[in-house]
Structure 1
Amino acid sequence: NSPGCSSSTCVYGIQYGDSSFSIGLFAKEKLTLTSNVVFDNFLFGCGQNNQGLFGGAAGLLGLGRNKLSFPSQTAIKFKKIFSYCLPSSPSSTGFLKFGNDGLSKSVKFTTLSTISGGESFYGITIIAMSVGGKKLSISASILAAGGAIIDSGTVITRLPPTAYSALRSAFRKQMNQYPMAKPLSILDTCYDFSKYSTVSIPKISLFFEKGVEVPIDARGILYVNSISQVCLAFAGNTNDFDVLIYGNTQQKTLEVVYDGTRRMIGFRTGGCT
């Protein structure tokens, strides 16, 4: 929400998709990243009342497309370009980088789009999906019906129910040698691997405009609650017109590059482990 000011004091309030919220003071300060990278009059919020699923986080860094986000406020230096890699486990190391220095030439770019009513989100266009190397019989119009975004703050990828049903059916068919386990919350396709020393799972890929294929790392396909309850880490939305969300579990080990100036987003496999 737009901050409201009275005299020299400004207050902000923001609510997130999971109903978490933050209310506090809206402030301006000099931001120093290094001795040579300094931003005057940087706008930020100092939370006084923070409720919801923030865990032990000390704060949030806004990376969206609106004018108050970090990429927008630092555009004069970094040109709205940043990249990250989310590691597969807490014992591995990922990264967050700003600017295009050292950007790999193997990054494959596709076009960003805009979601109606969600201008701060990074819209994407997924045109197909595959399981085990075979594309699913899903119309591109189904995948685009409610629009689609990529979100580093959403854990599990949410698909239109028609698309999720096709994905689940193909995945279960190729996993029928393993005993199933009870569902886990929104994850309804779970397996008991307690009697297996090795497990073979089918590859899953997402296909974007401009011929970009993004294979999902194996650690982004399954969510391990325990060895006896390992679940397909995708879920279906309520209806086909809800927004498709490409979540962070399926982004693990990928380098994801956002170029807000050119309105492009890029992917590279093996960005981290």
Structure 2
Amino acid sequence: MDIHLTSLLRFILSSSTILLLFLSCCWYKIEAHGEEMIEVEVNSFLPETTCMSSQKGSDYYRNKLQLVDKHGPCSPLGKKNLSIEEILLEDQLRVRSIHSMIGKQFSPRDYKAKIPTKAGYSLKTGNFIVNIGLGTPKKYFWVSIDTGSSLTWIRCQPCSNCSAPTFNPSKSSSYSSISCTSPDCSQLGSNKYNSPQCTNCMYQIHYADTDFSIGNFGREKLTLTSSDVVPSFQFGCGLRNSLGDSTSGLLGLGPKQVSLVSQTAAKFGKVFSYCFPRSASSTGYLAFGNQTGATSSGVKYTQMRALSRLPDNYFVLLMGISVNGQRLNISSSAFTDPGTIIDSGSLVTHLPRSAYNILRAAFQRAMSNYPSAPPTRTLDTCYNLSRNRTVNVPAITLHFEGGTDIQLDPFSGVLFKISAVQYCLAFAPNRDLVDQTIIGNLQQRTYEVIYDVPRGRLGFRAVGVNC
């Protein structure tokens, strides 16, 4: 009996040694080829139900605007009970709105039939909000930030179809109207509302399907922080608004003359940045001028470009994508025409179908040890990780023009948690005739993204988990 037991133990030990040597050999090969997976705990993807306070202290944010996910526990707007699937559908509407402005190859009304909408959907305004002060005496309003829009507008009284807090210009001593013949009115361009009996300048802005905002274009004192006040800020005072959203308006950060960025050029030098929190249960920031990390060490810059068909957006050039250190065989032409939009309001990154198919295939090979899960209407590559304590997430790196390489955060930029049994690749293929690449805010998290407009460059500064 002892002889048999001894022989058995020798066999087990010998087999274990061979197995360990085999695993060590394979792991060595993976490291040698740069194919390093990122092991993370599955429960790290679980959302927090309470708002986590910043660990950097109030002084750090004194000259920055706090950024809040309007769907998360830090939001002051109250729960709207939008599911993750509904948020993704909302995101798809924004992407299709952008595509419609580029191609004009399909009717925006067509996607009402393709994507079910419900009251409360925000079709254009994005999912991060800041609190700004307006008027004298000052009133505070939560507004969405948007790098894909230049015009700032606020819901105003008397307001048609307004459920969110509204601004009353008649109660402010610092509000003034702008005449129809003023050069300031002319700079609205296509957003100028041509009224037959025009006395005061009016604006109009239309989004996907039938949503719009129309109102007066005027001047008012805008308070960003206690030390950053814009005395005669030009903005839209929305009287007719069809966007069913709980925010009071939109802060336009686009590149056109009417944007906040251009109007504050003398003060901030057309430089701004934001840091999106990794989780909806924490907060980020929006900063201007010398409050950004533009001059910090470790910033990786790539060139910014312009596209005449989309003058409200900022463009960069995505050159390629790597998975686990291996550059994917994607033609560079897939991204060069018509360029790559870097967008604050889109959630997931949308790629041309040809590029997405190659990325998905590489991702599926790397995730072959995990059981698949049903797709969503937007994300088609999903896995059931409910029985796993940890998961090896493939490392994905985006390669931009000028040698700027950005490795994505595994918790937000690579895998996106839909439910306890559904974790999906946080990329989507374009489903329209326009093959526009759009970098969403999931892929921008754990970085401060710096817009240096005068120098024509976009920077990424790694900040880690907390902004």
Tell me the TM-score normalised to structure 1 length: 0.92
In structure 1, C-alpha distance between the alignment counterparts of 2:292 and 2:220, rounded to whole Å: 29
After superposition, the CA RMSD in angstroms is 2.0
Within-5 A mapping of 1:33-48: 33=224, 37-48=228-239
In structure 1, C-alpha distance between the alignment counterparts of 2:414 and 2:354, rounded to whole Å: 19
1:56 aligns with 2:249: no
Larger radius of gyration: 2
Name the SS of the counterpart of 1:119 in structure 2: coil
1:2 to 191, 201, 212: 191
- What 5-or-longer segments of structure 2 have no aligned partner? 1-189
- More helix as a share of residues: 2
- More strand as a share of residues: 1
Higher mean C-alpha deviation, range 152-161 or range 37-46: 37-46
- State the partner residue of 1:66: 256
1:76 aligns with 2:269: no
2:377 to 170, 177, 185: 185
Within-5 A mapping of 1:207-222: 207-218=399-410, 219-222=412-415
Count of residues in correspondence between the two structures: 272
1:236 aligns with 2:429: yes
Question: CA 1:35–1:191 in 2, change beyond 3 Å: closer, same or farther?
Answer: closer
- State the partner residue of 1:30: 221
Report the AA paired with residue 115 of structure 1: L
Report the AA paired with residue 11 of structure 1: M
- State the partner residue of 1:249: 442
Tell me the TM-score normalised to structure 2 length: 0.55
- Give deviations 1:40-79, integer Å, cap 9, x for gaps: 3311012233334x64222211000011111001001101
1:118 aligns with 2:307: no
How big is the shift at 1:36?
A: 5.3
In structure 2, C-alpha distance between the alignment counterparts of 1:228 and 1:82, rounded to whole Å: 39
Within-5 A mapping of 1:88-237: 88-101=278-291, 103=293, 104-218=296-410, 219-237=412-430
Within-5 A mapping of 1:10-29: 10-16=201-207, 20-29=211-220
- Give deviations 1:99-122, integer Å, cap 9, x for gaps: 034522211111001123112210
Question: CA 1:233–1:35 in 2, change beyond 3 Å: closer, same or farther?
Answer: closer
Question: CA 1:271–1:63 in 2, change beyond 3 Å: closer, same or farther?
Answer: farther
In structure 2, C-alpha distance between the alignment counterparts of 1:199 and 1:153, rounded to whole Å: 29
In structure 1, C-alpha distance between the alignment counterparts of 2:459 and 2:276, rounded to whole Å: 15
Question: CA 1:57–1:34 in 2, change beyond 3 Å: closer, same or farther?
Answer: closer
In structure 1, C-alpha distance between the alignment counterparts of 2:230 and 2:208, rounded to whole Å: 30
In structure 2, C-alpha distance between the alignment counterparts of 1:159 and 1:102, rounded to whole Å: 29
- Give deviations 1:176-217, integer Å, cap 9, x for gaps: 111111111111001111111111110111111111001111
- State the partner residue of 1:266: 459
- What 5-or-longer segments of structure 1 have no aligned partner? none
In structure 2, C-alpha distance between the alignment counterparts of 1:150 and 1:102, rounded to whole Å: 18
How big is the shift at 1:25?
A: 2.2
> Contact 2:373 / 2:382 at 8 angstroms: preserved in 1?
yes
Higher mean C-alpha deviation, range 108-117 or range 33-42: 33-42
Give percent identity, aligned residues only. 46
- Give deviations 1:240-268, integer Å, cap 9, x for gaps: 85211011111112110001111110001
> Contact 2:318 / 2:339 at 8 angstroms: preserved in 1?
no
How big is the shift at 1:9?
A: 2.6
In structure 2, C-alpha distance between the alignment counterparts of 1:183 and 1:49, rounded to whole Å: 38
